[in-house]
Amino acid sequence: MAVGVQVGRQTRVGMSGNEAVAYAVKQSNVDVVAAYPITPQTIIVERIAEYVNNGELNAACVAVESEHSALSACIGASLTGARVFTATSSQGLALMWEILWIASAMRTPIVMALANRALSAPINIHCSHDDAYAVRDAGWIQFFAEDVQEAYDLTIQAFRIAEDERVLFPVIVNLDGFILSHGVEALYVLDDESVNAFLPPRKPINTIDVEKPMTYGPLVLYDYYMEFKRAQAEAFNNSYPAILGILQEYSKLSGRNYAPIKTYGMEDAEAALVVLGSSAGTARFVARRLREQGKKVGVVSLTLYRPFPRDELARVLRRVKSVVVMDRSYSFGSPGAQLFMDVASALYDEKERPLLVNAVYGLGGRDFTAEQAEMAFRIALETARSGEVKERQVWLGVR
Amino acid sequence: MVYEVRWHGRGGQGVVTASDLLARAAVLEGKYVYHAPEFGPERRGAPVRAYTRISNEPIEQHFGIYNPDAVVVIDPSLLKLHDLILSGIKPGGLLVVNAKTVDSDLLERAKELRLSLWSVDAYTIAMDIFGNPLYNTPMLGAFTRAAGLVKLESVLSAVKERFRSPVAFERNAEAIKKAYEEVSKIV
């Protein structure tokens, strides 16, 4: 049991994001963990190994020689019906790349914690969203935690979502490297009984069974490949209502509200930021100060990144005059960075839509300060006032 | 009200651990915290910073601390780097240093900034108890007394949770208590 202050059926504790994820994995009674160490994710797997070693968790920790093997082991384990977890960052995820697509197409529930870290070169260990963005098309559901509490809560929900028969897709829970992975915050953890009730043992279908041999991952050429992909696409899109339902159920259980997007001040905002991850809190912190000065600003943050909450986002953004979309990454040669392109596409069909600016910020752990957030709001406000976009893409906090 | 602490030391001295323990002690008192380390790949001996933000209200801001209410200098060799350790400190703030005696230059700067300056000889405490210059827990004890922000018992509870080995806990608790008693206000 977590050491902390008992509040009803929950306990108030201090934990880093990595510890909180590991604790959630333990409470989720995972069966198999296969991972390869990489900063800033390492502590998650270290903690899980401690739980197993102490007898607090009955799971197999598979020592592998690379991330490529780690995810391959996860797929095999998931096909046997096990509850499976892995964690990685940046280059580690890059090395998993070809297997990521296989995990999704073979409909293997796997939960991955991704402590977001910039991709090399130059070598960096701190936060960018390069890694999460680079696998956005691979058929994994992706969540972004904005604080340690969410890293914990989303991990538990991720298992339930991944294993739901209406879903059966792998899920990534993103937590900003160092900012959240190593950041210590107060959070509430559920008691084991509540987690067990929310997340009963997995009920797998089509598992590997030596008595009933089947082919998994066969060769499919132009005769059926396209139908296969169409089926996968429909399944992925159809998972949305199931995801919503599970988020709502967990919200009731925990008393903490989970939905695909979160909004602040959007009832009457004229200018807004769209953000992912730990920057959401910083953006709201600055928005509150600007509202005290009478500026009508708002913040939209995405908890669910894939499947992209297109309709919800369009609904809250269409009447805003100007929006700055914040990207903690850069997409070379694209019309904008990754989140910008998603937001622009989501708004394209709307009769009314805001003027859009893309801000690239925070690369490689560059601190996203209150001043930078304020600068982003000022750009949005000025764009709203003048009615024209001066610069379509700006870099914040670059020297 | 948000209270912000910046810790200065060198890689390998447990700077991050000191900030982490303070944050966990504050959580035990029902406070909200954000502790963040600031380090690159582990480089023993390189200057390292850590941040602790403490509040009675939920904390949303996830950025570094630029205008600390308090600065704790764990490593005595950093005390001459005034621009580093005093950078952005709030006038009237708190400065807690590890020193046998405080240099007159630093004393002058502290007076100019109307800082409350506290000092403790963590070297002697650490050598007596650990036989090694481990400054982080004694400096946590010194800060606890100087700031009066969290209770000594809360700090000791956080230390007990962190150091599972009874010997490690006993020694660190002793160092914390000794520094808590010995730290003194210079100005």
pLDDT tens digits, residue range B74-92? 999 999 999 999 999 999 9
pLDDT tens for each residue of A199-220: 999 999 999 999 999 999 899 9
pLDDT at A108: 98
CA dihedral A380, A384, A386, A392 (to 10 degrees): 50
Average pLDDT (A309-316) is 98
The answer to whether the CB atoms of B37 and A370 lie below 8 A apart is: no
pLDDT at A5: 87
CA dihedral A203, A207, A212, A218 (to 10 degrees): 150
- Min Cα separation B102/chain A (Å): 32
Domains of chain B listed by start with CATH number: 2-185 (3.40.920.10)
Question: For the purposes of burial, counting CB atoms within 10 Å of the CB of A55, is it exposed (0-12), middle (13-18) or buried (19 or more)?
Answer: exposed
Tell me the pLDDT of chain A averaged across its residues: 97
Average pLDDT (A93-113) is 98
Dmax over CA atoms of chain A, in Å, equals 70
Tell me the pLDDT of chain B averaged across its residues: 95
Alpha carbon separation from A107 to A101, A170, A240 (Å, rounded): 10, 7, 15
Distance in angstroms (rounded) separating the CA atoms of residues A129 and A369: 17
Average pLDDT (A14-22) is 98
DSSP B82: H
- Give residue A1's pLDDT band: very low, low, confident or very high (50, 70, 90): low
- Give residue B41's pLDDT band: very low, low, confident or very high (50, 70, 90): low
Whether the per-residue pLDDT at B16 is higher than 60: the answer is yes
Question: For the purposes of burial, counting CB atoms within 10 Å of the CB of B185, is it exposed (0-12), middle (13-18) or buried (19 or more)?
Answer: exposed
Distance in angstroms (rounded) separating the CA atoms of residues A53 and A209: 29
Whether the per-residue pLDDT at A180 is higher than 90: the answer is yes
Q: Are strands B32-38 and B47-55 parallel, antiparallel or unpaired?
A: antiparallel
How many other C-beta atoms can be found within 10 angstroms of the C-beta atom of residue A97? 14
Which residue of B24, B31, B62 is in closest CB contact with A183?
A: B62
Distance in angstroms (rounded) separating the CA atoms of residues A282 and A361: 13
The residues near B9 (Cβ < 8 Å, ≥ 6 apart) are: B15, B18, B47, B48, B73, B74, B75, B78, B135, B136
Average pLDDT (A52-56) is 97
pLDDT at B38: 82
Dmax over CA atoms of chain B, in Å, equals 44
Whether the per-residue pLDDT at A287 is higher than 80: the answer is yes
pLDDT at B40: 57
Distance in angstroms (rounded) separating the CA atoms of residues A116 and A127: 5
Chain position carrying tokens 């024209």: A388
Q: Give the DSSP H or E segment for A196.
A: helix A192-198
Domains of chain A listed by start with CATH number: 5-254 (3.40.50.970), 261-395 (3.40.50.920)
The residue among A29, A75, A25, A51 whose CA lies nearest residue A201 is: A29
pLDDT above 90 coverage of chain A, percent: 98
Distance in angstroms (rounded) separating the CA atoms of residues B141 and A163: 48
- Give residue B164's pLDDT band: very low, low, confident or very high (50, 70, 90): confident
Alpha carbon separation from A271 to A81, A188, A301 (Å, rounded): 48, 33, 14
- Min Cα separation A189/chain B (Å): 13
- Give residue B12's pLDDT band: very low, low, confident or very high (50, 70, 90): confident
Q: Which residues on adjacent β-strands are paired with residue A326? A: A359
The residue among A113, A125, A145, A154 whose CA lies nearest residue A277 is: A145
The answer to whether the CB atoms of A178 and B37 lie below 8 A apart is: yes
Question: For the purposes of burial, counting CB atoms within 10 Å of the CB of B153, is it exposed (0-12), middle (13-18) or buried (19 or more)?
Answer: exposed
- Give residue B42's pLDDT band: very low, low, confident or very high (50, 70, 90): low
Whether the per-residue pLDDT at B45 is higher than 60: the answer is yes
The answer to whether the CB atoms of B61 and A370 lie below 8 A apart is: yes
A182: chain B residues, CB-CB within 8 Å: 36-37
The answer to whether the CB atoms of B20 and A184 lie below 8 A apart is: yes
Chain position carrying tokens 């607090």: A56
The residues near A181 (Cβ < 8 Å, ≥ 6 apart) are: A16, A17, A18, A40, A41, A43, A44, A115, A175
The answer to whether the CB atoms of A369 and B64 lie below 8 A apart is: yes
Whether the per-residue pLDDT at A325 is higher than 70: the answer is yes
Q: Is A12 on the interface with B (CB under 8 A)?
A: yes
E strand intervals along chain B: 2-10, 32-38, 47-55, 70-73, 94-98, 116-120, 184-185
Q: Is A374 on the interface with B (CB under 8 A)?
A: no
- pLDDT: which is higher, B38 or A93: A93
Whether the per-residue pLDDT at B39 is higher than 70: the answer is no
pLDDT tens for each residue of A57-79: 999 999 999 999 999 999 999 99
Question: A11: which 2 tokens?
Answer: 């306990």
Which residue of B30, B32, B63 is in closest CB contact with A369?
A: B63
Q: B87-125 as b/e, with b when 16 or more CB fall inside 10 Å?
A: eebeeebbbbbbbeebeeebbebbeebebbbbbbbbeeb
